[in-house]
Structure 1
Amino acid sequence: MKQQLVFATNNPHKIAEVKRQLGDRYAFLSLQEIGCTEEISETADTLEGNARLKARHVKSRYGHDCFSEDTGLEVYALDHAPGVDTAHYAGPQRSADDNNQKLLSELADRKDRLARFRTVICLIEGDAEHLFEGECEGRIATAPIGHDGFGYDPIFVPAEGDGRTFAQMTQDEKVRFSHRARAMAKLEDYLKKPQGEVHPTA
């Protein structure tokens, strides 16, 4: 029988990425599938804090062991903005196009376009919490390129790639560099370890 995991999101793109990476080893439940339809507060000032808020909400309200993630795009020339405001950088409408255009506008006259994506996952098992982090260094393009992916993918060029944005890559190509995939790999390594074995948290 597959191990069942609640992934504290209803974002279909994130769910698809995780399912693609972990394949048939796990049966995932989304927030909607456990009856969680309310907006979960993300008021912490760090990615780690927001990941914990979401996981603790699911555990305390619905009783499920679960994992959640928070991802931020950190642009060095902008003092690591948008950071925790990544999803609603241009406003509460959470529009990817608006976010991309705002970021491109703020970098219009800057030569330093280096940035990184960072994902933090919080897993809650019983009373224990574990954090796993993944990063992807890169730069911000001067204009959106590509039609795949989501969020900032059309303007983010990973440093380890071949010069294409995430939005120009297939999902299989993106997962080679993805911050979320790297954090998920650490979560997967943890889940594979026999119970009782010491597990690193990062």
Structure 2
Amino acid sequence: MQAPKEIVFVTGNANKLKEVKMILAPSESDPTPSFTIINEALDLDELQDVNLEAIALAKCKQAVAHLGEGHPVFVEDTALRFDEFNGLPGAYIKWFLKSMGLEKIVQMLQPFENKGAEAVTTIVYCDSKGQYHTFQGITRGIIVDSRGPTTFGWDSIFQPLESDEKTYAEMEKKDKNLISQRGRAFAQLKDFLYHHSA
């Protein structure tokens, strides 16, 4: 029997790796996967752009350059877009978090009635043949005062429309994965990995 091939997920975030492994694990209807997920914490430059696909593709191309061709690899990039700000902070949300913190991000929307937002995860996967595939998941919601644990990015200030008024941080992981933008994007990747040769 052929040993499962390794697919590299470029992340240094242990929480993210755990969540992704959970989403990509086989369910009852899936065959045993022919791959295992490993991670590499590569330091990749981030393209300064509002086009989420372009940012993720640039990161994936850098990862391929680091790892060498023939190694299947994927990167994911997650953005938080505020309706009131025409999509900003978008991909820059992690820098806003780092420099301002959750409370000040919420305060940015205080003068405005529209608290609508969308969370977007874009995945770019490069297969062993060097072909790039893009998957994207989107979840609509609103920005609220921080509720729940603050251990996972901006989860405590984003309340999805489909969550019975819970923030991501207040939800059980398995429930969150069903409706989250990351869960949706990785469900597409999972379908691709299980049903196409990689």
The TM-score with structure 1 as length reference comes to 0.85
How many angstroms does 1:87 deviate by?
A: 0.7
Structure 1 stretches (4+) deviating beyond 6 angstroms?
A: none
Alignment-derived partner of residue 80 in structure 1: 87
- Supply the distance in 2 between the matched residues of 1:3 and 1:62 (Cα, whole angstroms): 15
Alignment-derived partner of residue 77 in structure 2: 70
Q: 1:148 to 1:16 in 2, by over 3 A?
A: farther
Alignment-derived partner of residue 30 in structure 1: 39
- Give the letter for the 1:75 counterpart: F
Q: How many residues align?
A: 185
- Supply the distance in 2 between the matched residues of 1:185 and 1:14 (Cα, whole angstroms): 15
Q: Does 1:167 align with 2:178?
A: no
Tell whether the 8 Å contact from 1:122 to 1:129 is kept in structure 2 after alignment.
yes
- Supply the distance in 2 between the matched residues of 1:113 and 1:149 (Cα, whole angstroms): 23
- Supply the distance in 2 between the matched residues of 1:27 and 1:65 (Cα, whole angstroms): 11
- Supply the distance in 2 between the matched residues of 1:129 and 1:44 (Cα, whole angstroms): 20
Alignment-derived partner of residue 182 in structure 2: 180
* Percent of matched pairs sharing the same residue: 30
How many angstroms does 1:43 deviate by?
A: 1.8
Aligned with 2:22 (options 20, 23, 41): 20
**After superposition, where does 1:68-147 map in structure 2 within 5 Å?**
68-90=75-97, 94=98, 98-125=100-127, 126-141=129-144, 143-147=145-149
- Give the letter for the 2:38 counterpart: L
- Supply the distance in 1 between the matched residues of 2:84 and 2:133 (Cα, whole angstroms): 31
- Supply the distance in 2 between the matched residues of 1:155 and 1:179 (Cα, whole angstroms): 15
Alignment-derived partner of residue 51 in structure 1: 56
- Higher RCO (C-alpha 8 Å, min separation 6): 2
Q: Does 1:4 align with 2:9?
A: no
Tell whether the 8 Å contact from 1:8 to 1:54 is kept in structure 2 after alignment.
no
- Supply the distance in 2 between the matched residues of 1:178 and 1:12 (Cα, whole angstroms): 18
How many angstroms does 1:110 deviate by?
A: 1.5
Alignment gaps of 5+ in structure 1 = 197-202
Measured on the aligned residues, the alpha-carbon RMSD in Å equals 1.8
- Supply the distance in 1 between the matched residues of 2:176 and 2:102 (Cα, whole angstroms): 19
Alignment gaps of 5+ in structure 2 = 27-32
